[in-house]
Structures are given as C-alpha cells and as structure tokens.
C-alpha cells in the first residue's frame, strides 16, 4: 500500500524548491532580486522588513548570517519570495521554510518548474520530461527523508561507510538527482541506495570471443585460475562449486568462457532482450542468481559486498538515466583500466609525499565488457546501447582501512541530519580539534595530494564528493582513497618527463586535456561541487567564516608549493589561486539540449567567471 504523508511530501518539495532556486541562480538562469531590508536594533535577532512590496509582511533571519537577504523572483503574475544567505561563491543558500508563491506556502516543485519554464521560454517537451525526472527524485527523496529521520548527527557519524551512503543527499548540484528514469517503486525498493536492501547478482558465462578484457596478472596464472580469482570475490567456495556444476550441464569448456555478474534488473530488462542471439548461440549462458549479498552505493551502479565487506566492490552497467547520463559501462576504457589502476597505485606507493599523506588507490583490477553486435557498428547510435553489459571489480574501501579507521565519502561533509545539523560540525566537535586544525588536516589529506598528483604527474581525477573516500580516524580525516579510473581519470595533454613510466597503451586510452581544463577536475569537481556546500555550515554553525575557510585552503596550497620550488612552472599552469575562474554549469545543459538520445555524453556550459575565493587576500596570515 502506498501511504504518503502530506507533511513529508511538502517537506521534500520545499527542500527541492530551495535547491532549484539556489542552483539555477548560481547557473545564472534565474535573476533573483534582493529586496531592500530595514535592520532593527535588536541584538539577538535581526528583524528585517521589506520596503516596496505588498505581499511580504516582514521576516526574521538567523543572527549569524551576515549576508542574509529577502529575495524575490517573478514569473508572469506569480511572485516568489524567500530568505537566503549569499555565500562566498555568489550562490544563495535558500531557507526552504520561508518559500512563498503569492503568499502561499508549500508549493510543489512541478509548479515552480512551470513558472521557470515560462520565464526562460523552456520548450514544453523538455519541461514535461524535466517534471518526470523531478517527480522520480521527489519520490526517492521521501524514502531517504524517512530513513534519515531515525538519526542525529552523533549516530550518523558512527555509521560505517556503506551504511552512511544510504543516507546521503545525492548530487548537490543536479536538480533531479535521483531521477533513475525507468525505475518504479519495486525497483527503488530493491536496488536504490536509500532503500539499502541487500540483493544477489545474476551470473552469466560470456564466451571469450565476444568479451573485451582488462585484468591484472593474466600472465602469471591460467584462465581458470583467473575466473576463480574473480568469482572468489563475489561468492563462497560452495556457491562457486554449484555455479560450475550449472555451467558443466551445458557441456562447454570453461577455458572458453568468462563468468561475470550482471545487475538483476539489467539482466531482465536489457541483457536478455538485447543479447538474445548470443544466448541462442551459447556465446552467453545464463547461470542464475547466486553469490554474496550486495547493496547499492551512491552511484547506484557500484555495489558493496554486504556479506564480506572487505571483498571487492562490483560496478555494473544499469541502463537508466541517472543524473545526466545513462549509467552503463563503456568498452573503451576496459582494456587499459586494470593496468592504469595498477600504474597509479604503484606511482602513489613510490611517491613519498603521497605516502606521507596516506593516499590510497582503490584498485580496479578486473574489467570485462561485451559489446552488442547489433549496435557496435552504428557510428552515431546512442551511447547507452553500447554500454549495457560488462563488469569492473574494484578493491573496497574496507580493504584499505587500518586500525579503527572508517571510510566516508567526501559527500558526507555536506550531509545534515533531519534537523539540518551538519555532520562536519559533529566530526570537528567530536575530534576535540579547533575548526582550523581540523580543516588543515582535511585539506592536507584531500586537496593537497590531488594537487600534487596534478602538478607532478599531470594526472587528475574528477574529485567530486562521490569519487573521494575519506579515511577517518577518531573523527579526523587521516587519508584519502581514490577510485573510478575508467574515464574519470584524465591526463594533461603535454609530455611531462614523469610520464615516462606510463605504458603507451594506457596513455593512448586516457583522456588528454589542456592544463586549464584539467584544473577543473579539482577546482570545479571539488571546490565548487563539494566545498561550496560545506563552508556555509561552518559559517552558520561554528562561526568560522567562508573567507577564513578558503584563505586557509589557499594557505595550505601555498605551503605545499613552497616545498616544491622545482614545480614552479607547473603551479603557474595549474593555477588554483587565480583571481577569477571559469564557472561550469551542468543543469543548463539539459535545458539547452533536451532529453533526446545522444551518441556521446553531454558537456557542461560556462557562465560568467567566478571571483575565486581562494585568491589570496593580503593580510591573511
């Protein structure tokens, strides 16, 4: 029985509406007016009233919000008003409780989107699709909100990495961040991160002739040993024996086949109907559902082994639209993925600076991809059709933890409990450190090693909150684990002498970017997409200003740079401290392009350059 509470429904819509105003204002799609404010003398609260509007009576804003505004945005005859705090990046943190439309509260997001469509002249086809994505997101948000209500920041902070992932908010910038088009209540309940339900995988045998592989140590063992090594990560000895018995009923030679897992939903919806010919000629053989239990991580397609948490994470294609693209696995990075992660792990292990920072690489040691013969030769076919079947095995964060360490996605830093209290405040308070010491430790274990990787080796990883795993000890970040090498790791388009050890085959597969683009893997990926959402909590809850936050970060970068005078030229190429930086927008892309299929993933668009809050301010220590 579906039983939706009106109060929760209103809450998730209000939360999303606040995000819609905030991000679309940041992306310069909505021009929001800041109304004139009269301050009264009360020292405890700043009572504000607005001149020149008839609809608003006067409102209260938080005492410690020095950049608080009453804002207004008009669409035709409809007047939206809300309180917001303007942050250092120029973005607004909107108070969801204050949102009104023509004086009415609790307006659904679909209505806000219709108002926005009117102003930006959005095509109705795009609006209709956008509303579908938003409704999907809101429904998933209901489940997530209900779960989160059971925790406060103390209990949240003590959860394991996997358990915490089920409660995280999701992508902070993308408006429809739980869209998963094609999934209904049943799928969400079984397979979504917020449902946190364990499930088993559906195994198939894949004939070698249709598989593309990238697997480490193939030269040191025979084929069957490799198959067993992979399977041992995903099932018990007894389950493996039974699986081989099922395989043997087909009278095929195991030396000709790989055995891989598929996501049960993908198996049913795409693999069987799109690869029927391969099942008919035994290039694919169904071996059934077996093995360990898995739970979806935030990315949905990467799964944690719940039965044996130190065993590999499994990344599987799922052909659903989820935050801006279909979540398949492309074949183009498969052959080099394992060698690349081996190379990076070796490189980081040899680098004293990275070792000292406890910088870890979650090795993606095995990858298999099967292309669809019906689609493979259609040059401009939608990319999703060639990304339906494959697997990547990756070391789990649990496997690299030492002592009492816990793994937490960097996205945890922007998480709150149901009352809106931040998890980062909880970590800092529980650590016993000052805000400044704690942040210094955070920057020195995250930004600085990633910056070192960029400047010394010309390598960068899209450093958003889902790709970085903090290794926390006694509530303090003591290390970092990186992952996602099949496409999200890129290299500078210049020949650095440090690239000499990089095998040509790997270099050929890596995406090469000019330094000023590569920089954004850290700048936009991390500063704008993680830290922008973290610093306001410290300003609000711990009176640690955003100026102090970013100037401290700038100081840590300068401190790092002072240790490597020989990299001076690189620091100029990869200049994180420039006065202005490009502003990269992702929501506007969908508004521009719409929902039709494309042969490549969509690219972001640029808005007015940002005033860089890291630009060193004279006089800051």
Ligand X SMILES: Nc1ncnc2c1ncn2[C@@H]1O[C@H](COP(=O)(O)OP(=O)(O)OP(=O)(O)O)[C@@H](O)[C@H]1O
- Helix and strand element counts for the chain (H, E): 22, 27
Q: How far is the CB of 96 from ligand X (least distance, A)?
A: 19
384 contact choice in Mg ion, ligand X, none (CB below 5 to 8 Å, kind-dependent): none
Q: Is 6 helix (H, G, I), strand (E, B) or coil?
A: helix
- In the complex, the smallest distance separating the C-beta of residue 297 from ligand X, rounded to whole angstroms, is 6
State which residue, 401 or 461, has the beta carbon closest to ligand X.
461
- Residue closer to ligand X, measured from CB, 25 or 483: 483
145 binds ligand X, rule: CB under 6 A: no
SS3 460: strand
User: Cα dist. 375→308, 378, 386, 388, 520 in Å?
Assistant: 37, 5, 7, 11, 33
For residues 121 and 473, what is the distance between their CA atoms, to the nearest angstrom?
Answer: 51
Q: Of 191 and 247, which has the nearer Cβ to ligand X?
A: 191
Measured from each CB, the residue nearest to Mg ion is 484
Q: How far is the CB of 388 from ligand X (least distance, A)?
A: 15
Distance between the two ends of the chain, CA-based, in angstroms?
A: 60
CB of 242 to ligand X, least distance (A): 29
525 binds ligand X (CB under 6 A): no
The window from 273-281, 293-301, 512-520, 592-600 that contacts ligand X (CB under 6 A) reads 293-301
DSSP 432: T
For position 465 contacting ligand X by CB under 6 A, the verdict is: yes
What's the CA gap between 110 and 103, in Å, rounded?
18
Closer by beta carbon to ligand X, 109 or else 298 = 298
Q: Which is nearer to ligand X, 488 or 548 (CB)?
A: 488
Shortest reach from residue 488's CB to Mg ion, in Å = 6
**For strand 59-61 and strand 476-482, is the pairing parallel, antiparallel, or unpaired?**
unpaired
The DSSP annotation for 250-316 comes to TT--GGGEEEEEE-HHHIIIIIHHHTHHHHHTTSEEEEEEEEEEEEE-TTSSEEEESSSTTSPEEE-
Q: Where are the alpha helices (DSSP H) in 491-564?
A: 504-509, 515-522, 532-542, 546-563
Strands (E) across 78-210 are located at: 78-86, 92-94, 100-101, 199-207
Q: Are 8 and 93 in contact (CB under 8 A)?
A: no
- Rule CB under 6 A: say whether 177 interacts with ligand X: yes
Question: Of 169-177, 181-189, 277-285, 340-348, which part binds ligand X (CB under 6 A)?
Answer: 169-177
Whole-angstrom Cα distance, residue 206 to residue 125? 40
Out of Mg ion, ligand X, none, what residue 411 binds, judged by CB under 5 to 8 A for its kind, is ligand X
From the CB of 324, what's the least distance to Mg ion, in Å?
13
Minimum gap (Å) between residue 243 Cβ and ligand X: 25
Does 172 contact ligand X by CB under 6 A? Answer: yes
532 binds ligand X per the rule CB under 6 A = no
Q: Does 315 bind ligand X (CB under 6 A)?
A: yes
The binder of 405, among Mg ion, ligand X, none, by C-beta within 5 to 8 A per type, is none
From candidates 101, 425, 456, 464, binder to ligand X by CB under 6 A: 464
As measured in angstroms, the least distance from the Cβ of 196 to Mg ion is 19
Interface residue with ligand X, options 65, 296, 344, 411 (CB under 6 A): 411
In this chain, which of 322, 336, 386, 416 binds ligand X, going by CB under 6 A? 322
Nearer to ligand X, 107 or 314 (CB): 314
- By the rule CB under 6 A, 170 interacts with ligand X: yes
Q: Record the tokens describing residue 519, joined without a space.
A: 């920089």
The CA distances from residue 533 to 19, 414, 496, in Å, are: 11, 6, 34
> Should residue 171 be labelled a site residue for ligand X when binding is judged by CB under 6 A?
yes
162 near ligand X, judged by CB under 6 A: no
Tokens of 225: 């040993």
Is residue 484 a contact residue for ligand X (CB under 6 A)? yes
Helix (H, G, I), strand (E, B) or coil at 438: helix
Partner that binds at residue 171, options Mg ion, ligand X, none, CB closer than 5 to 8 Å by kind: ligand X
Taking the C-alpha atoms of 151, 155, 157 and 158 in order, what is their torsion angle to the nearest 10 degrees? -140
Q: What share of the chain is helix, strand, coil (3-state, %, to 5)?
A: 45, 25, 35
Instruction: State yes or no: residue 301 binds ligand X (CB under 6 A).
Output: yes
Binding site for ligand X (CB under 6 A): 170-172, 177, 297-302, 315, 322-323, 327, 411, 464-467, 483-484, 488
């Amino acid at each position: 029985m579906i039983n939706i509470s009106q109060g929760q429904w209103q809450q998730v819509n209000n939360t999303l509406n606040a995000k819609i105003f905030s991000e679309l204002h940041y992306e310069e799609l909505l021009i929001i007016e800041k109304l004139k404010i009269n301050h009264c003398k009360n020292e405890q609260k700043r009572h504000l009233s607005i001149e020149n509007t008839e609809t608003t009576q006067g409102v209260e804003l938080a005492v410690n919000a020095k950049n608080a505004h009453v804002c207004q945005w008009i669409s035709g005859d409809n007047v939206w008003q809300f309180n917001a705090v303007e942050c250092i990046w120029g973005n607004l943190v909107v108070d969801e409780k204050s949102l009104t439309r023509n004086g009415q509260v609790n307006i659904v997001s679909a209505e806000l989107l219709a108002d926005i469509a009117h102003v930006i002249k959005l095509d109705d086809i795009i609006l209709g699709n956008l509303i579908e994505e938003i409704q999907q997101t809101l429904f998933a948000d209901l489940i997530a909100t209900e779960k989160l209500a059971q925790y406060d920041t103390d209990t949240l902070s003590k959860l394991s990495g996997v358990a915490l992932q089920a409660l995280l908010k999701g992508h902070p910038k993308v408006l429809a961040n739980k869209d998963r088009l094609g999934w209904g209540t049943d799928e969400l309940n079984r397979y979504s991160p917020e449902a946190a339900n364990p499930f088993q995988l559906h195994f198939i045998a894949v004939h070698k002739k249709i598989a593309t592989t990238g697997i480490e140590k193939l030269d040191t063992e025979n084929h069957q040993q490799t198959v067993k090594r992979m399977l041992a990560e995903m099932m018990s000895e007894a389950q493996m024996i039974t699986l081989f018995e099922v395989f043997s009923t087909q009278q095929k030679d195991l030396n000709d086949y790989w055995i891989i897992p598929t996501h049960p939903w993908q198996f049913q919806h795409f693999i069987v109907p799109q690869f029927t010919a391969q099942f008919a000629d035994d290039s694919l053989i169904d071996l059934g559902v077996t093995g360990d239990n898995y739970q979806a991580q935030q990315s949905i397609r990467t799964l944690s082994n719940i039965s044996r948490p130190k065993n590999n994470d499994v990344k599987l294609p799922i052909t659903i639209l989820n935050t801006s693209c279909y979540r398949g696995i492309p074949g183009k990075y498969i052959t080099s993925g394992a060698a690349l992660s081996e190379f990076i792990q070796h490189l980081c292990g040899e680098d004293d600076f990275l070792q000292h920072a406890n910088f870890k690489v979650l090795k993606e040691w095995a990858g298999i991809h099967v292309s669809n013969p019906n689609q493979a030769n259609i040059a401009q076919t939608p990319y999703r059709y060639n990304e339906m079947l494959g697997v990547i095995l990756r070391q789990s964060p649990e496997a690299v933890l030492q002592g009492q360490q816990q793994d937490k996605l960097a996205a945890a830093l922007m998480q709150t409990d149901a009352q809106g209290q931040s998890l980062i405040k909880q970590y800092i308070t529980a650590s016993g450190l000052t805000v400044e010491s704690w942040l210094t430790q955070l920057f020195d274990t995250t930004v600085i090693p990633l910056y070192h990787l960029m400047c010394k080796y010309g390598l960068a990883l899209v450093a958003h909150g889902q790709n970085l795993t903090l290794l926390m000890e006694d509530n303090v970040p003591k290390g970092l684990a990186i992952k996602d090498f099949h496409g999200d790791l890129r290299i500078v388009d210049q020949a650095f002498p440090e690239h000499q050890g990089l095998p040509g085959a790997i270099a050929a597969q890596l995406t090469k970017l000019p330094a000023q683009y590569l920089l954004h893997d850290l700048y936009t990926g991390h500063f704008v997409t993680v830290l922008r959402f973290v610093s306001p909590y410290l300003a609000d809850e711990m009176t640690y200003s955003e100026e102090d936050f970013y100037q401290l970060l700038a100081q840590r970068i300068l401190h790092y740079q002072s240790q490597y005078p020989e990299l001076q030229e690189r620091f100029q190429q990869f200049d994180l401290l420039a006065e202005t930086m490009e502003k990269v927008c992702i929501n506007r892309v969908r508004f521009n392009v719409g929902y039709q299929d494309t042969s490549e993933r969509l690219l972001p668009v640029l808005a007015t350059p940002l005033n860089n809050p890291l630009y060193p301010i004279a006089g800051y220590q």
